[in-house]
Amino acid sequence: MTHHLRSGLYDTSPLYQNAVLDLETAARVMDLNPGVLERLRMPKKAMCVSIPVRMDDGSVKTFEGYRVQHSTTLGPGKGGIRFHPEVNLSEVSALAMLMTMKCSLVGLPLGGAKGGIRVDPSQLSRAEQQALTRRFTMEIISMIGPEQDIPAPDVGTDGQHMAWMMDTYSMAKGHAVPGVVTGKPIEIGGSLGRPESTGRGVVYVIEHAIELLKKQNKANYSMKSMTAAVHGFGKVGAVAAHELAIRGCKVVAVSDFYGAIHNKNGLNVDEVQAYMNKNRTLKGYPNAEAISNEDLLALNVDILVPAAIDGVITKANMKNIKAKIISEGANGPITSEAQQYLEQNGCYIIPDILANAGGVIVSYFEWVQGLQQFFWNEKEVNEKLAEIMARAFNRVAGNAERYKTGMKTAALITSVERLSQAMLLRGLFP
Catalytic residue ranges: 114
- The Cα–Cα gap between 193 and 249 comes to 22
Closest CA to 71 of 93, 91, 47: 93
- The Cα–Cα gap between 107 and 100 comes to 11
- The Cα–Cα gap between 27 and 214 comes to 30
CA–CA–CA angle 214, 216, 222 (5° rounding): 10
Q: How many CA atoms within 13 Å lie on the side-chain side of 249? A: 27
Please name the residues in contact with 289: beta carbons below 8 A apart, sequence gap of 6 or more.
Answer: 261, 262, 263
What's the Cα-to-Cα distance from 348 to each of 35, 244, 289, 338, 405, rounded to whole Å? 32, 17, 28, 13, 11
| Strand bridging mode 325-327 / 60-71 | unpaired
Q: Is 342 left (phi over 0), alpha (psi -120 to 50) or beta?
A: alpha
Q: Is the separation of the CB atoms in 50 and 64 below 8 Å?
A: yes
3-state secondary structure of 291: strand
Q: Is the separation of the CB atoms in 230 and 307 below 8 Å?
A: yes
- The Cα–Cα gap between 92 and 143 comes to 15
- The Cα–Cα gap between 140 and 332 comes to 26
For 148-196, where are the alpha helices, taking DSSP H only? 159-173
3-state secondary structure of 253: strand
**Preceding peptide of 430 cis, ω within 30°:** yes
DSSP designation for 289: E
